[in-house]
Amino acid sequence: MWRDWALVGALVPTAVLEGVLRSDLSWRNLSAFVIVVGLVPTLLWRRTRPLRMVAIAFGTSGLLTLLTRGDHTEPYTMAYLVILVYALFRWGSGREAVIGLVIVLGGACLSMVLRHTSLADTIGGLVVLFAVIALGAAVRYRAGLRTRELDQVKLLERERLARDLHDTVAHHVSAIAIRAQAGLATAVTQPTAAADALRVIEAEASRALAEMRAMVRVLRRNQPVDMAPTPRIADLEQLVSRGRTGPSVEVGISGDLDDVHPSVGTAIYRLAQESVTNARRHARHATRIEVHVDADDTSVHLRVTDDGDTGPVRSTAAPGYGLIGMFERVDLLGGTCAAGPNPDRGWTVTATLPRTGVPA
């Protein structure tokens, strides 16, 4: 990351400047500063190879202490080694953390013995070390919890998508079953082969409906299947409001939407609904929310924008779980989605989905 390069770029001249300005240093301590500068690049790989970087840094530092028998002045800049310890417990595996801790404690004990460190300095150093370890472990746990929450949101959105797909396909399969039943009713005057074919169609359609309902029950953790009609793009008109208790909502629909895949229409509605809800909840001093849907030959485009204040909290906040779930749905349908503040005022959510709803 650019922050890593900035950190390295700041530490190298700092170490050089310390070596030039400190008056208690002699030429025999030059090797210590050379090692400090040489180990700074380990910060660049601390996320991807934390154990290896800890082994290189603390192993080299311990070797220097062993060769000089502790008779050298350690630069203050060497304090950046605690960043490697933090990275080990933040991004390393459990096995790497244990091995790295042994290396760090071994190097620290070696330095304390050879340099005859006082009891107070020893206790202070250990407190700092274990504080850094605790911080890395706490941040790791929090990041893991956030990841599990996001995975849960994505899973729930996949379940909703499965239900919507079920409703869409079930509509067509039900039509097949009805046609088959009608064919059976008039099959008396038709050849027996037609009647047999209609019986097969009816049986297959009924079996498909039963299997799909069972699949959705499993996805929804054995909850009853909701057979209510799923929303479509035309249902966006229900979001229109005149601003009596909040910002007004205006909906505009243009383009040919006749052959848009039902799953795409449902996704457009869900995303618009979630965006309007978020705008009403978080857009301070907003007076107007605009929802516009436009379709061309290949795609359907959605744009939801408001004129609320774009404060620092709203600008820097991570997307909510509702939007994250919709981003997952859009991605599954082969589309793209983005949300962010406008250059001057307000917030905008945009989405583009293929008309055919190609699944990922």
pLDDT in tens, 37-93: 888 899 999 989 999 999 998 888 888 777 777 666 677 788 888 999 999 999 888
Say how many residues make up the chain.
360
The residue among 308 and 25 whose pLDDT is bigger is 308
Q: For residue 269, what are its two tokens? A: 């509605």
Per DSSP, the three-state class of 131 is helix
User: Which of 74-78, 81-85, 232-236, 241-245 shows the lowest per-residue confidence on average (mean pLDDT)?
Assistant: 241-245
Taking 60 as the threshold, does the pLDDT of residue 285 lie above it? yes
Residue 127 phi, psi dihedral angles, 5° rounding: -65, -45
Q: Tell me if 60 sits within 8 A of 107, measured CB to CB.
A: no
Q: Which of 146, 39, 145, 43 is nearest to 88 (CA)?
A: 43
The phi-psi region of residue 222 (left if phi > 0; otherwise alpha if psi is between -120 and 50; otherwise beta) is left
Taking 90 as the threshold, does the pLDDT of residue 134 lie above it? yes
Taking 60 as the threshold, does the pLDDT of residue 104 lie above it? yes
Quote the pLDDT of residue 305.
94
Taking 60 as the threshold, does the pLDDT of residue 97 lie above it? yes
Q: What is the mean pLDDT of residues 159-188?
A: 70
CA distances from 127 to 120, 123, 130, 134 (A): 11, 6, 5, 10
Taking 70 as the threshold, does the pLDDT of residue 319 lie above it? no
Q: What is the mean pLDDT of residues 198-215?
A: 67
Taking 70 as the threshold, does the pLDDT of residue 171 lie above it? no
Locate all alpha helices (DSSP H) within the chain, ordered by sequence.
Answer: 2-21, 30-39, 50-68, 81-91, 94-115, 119-185, 192-219, 262-282, 312-316, 321-332
Quote the pLDDT of residue 313.
47
The residue among 195 and 137 whose pLDDT is bigger is 137
Quote the pLDDT of residue 222.
47
Of the ranges 91-105, 148-162, 231-245, the best mean pLDDT one: 91-105
CA atoms within 13 A of residue 186's CA, in its CB half-sphere: 5
Cα-Cα-Cα-Cα torsion 173, 179, 185, 190, nearest 10 degrees, comes to -120
Taking 90 as the threshold, does the pLDDT of residue 300 lie above it? yes
> How many whole angstroms separate alpha carbon 117 and alpha carbon 109?
10
Taking 70 as the threshold, does the pLDDT of residue 231 lie above it? yes
Q: Tell me if 315 sits within 8 A of 341, measured CB to CB.
A: yes
Q: For residue 79, what are its two tokens? A: 């304090």
- Sequence-distant (6+) residues with CB within 8 A of 273 are 231, 239
Angle, to 10 degrees, between the axis of helix 94-115 and the axis of helix 50-68? 10
User: Which of 75-84, 122-131, 202-211 shows the lowest per-residue confidence on average (mean pLDDT)?
Assistant: 202-211
CB atoms within 10 A of CB 257: 18
Taking 70 as the threshold, does the pLDDT of residue 247 lie above it? yes
Q: For residue 356, what are its two tokens? A: 């055919």
> How many whole angstroms separate alpha carbon 202 and alpha carbon 269?
33
Percent over 90 (pLDDT), the chain: 18
> How many whole angstroms separate alpha carbon 303 and alpha carbon 338?
10
Taking 80 as the threshold, does the pLDDT of residue 316 lie above it? no
The residue among 190 and 128 whose pLDDT is bigger is 128
**Global pTM value:** 0.48
The phi-psi region of residue 169 (left if phi > 0; otherwise alpha if psi is between -120 and 50; otherwise beta) is alpha
Q: What is the mean pLDDT of residues 142-152?
A: 84
Q: What is the mean pLDDT of residues 169-185?
A: 71
The phi-psi region of residue 311 (left if phi > 0; otherwise alpha if psi is between -120 and 50; otherwise beta) is beta
User: Which of 47-56, 131-140, 163-172 shows the lowest per-residue confidence on average (mean pLDDT)?
Assistant: 163-172
Q: What is the mean pLDDT of residues 153-163?
A: 73
Quote the pLDDT of residue 146.
84
Quote the pLDDT of residue 253.
93
Average of per-residue pLDDT values in the chain: 80
Taking 90 as the threshold, does the pLDDT of residue 292 lie above it? yes
Q: What is the mean pLDDT of residues 192-205?
A: 69
> How many whole angstroms separate alpha carbon 43 and alpha carbon 49?
10
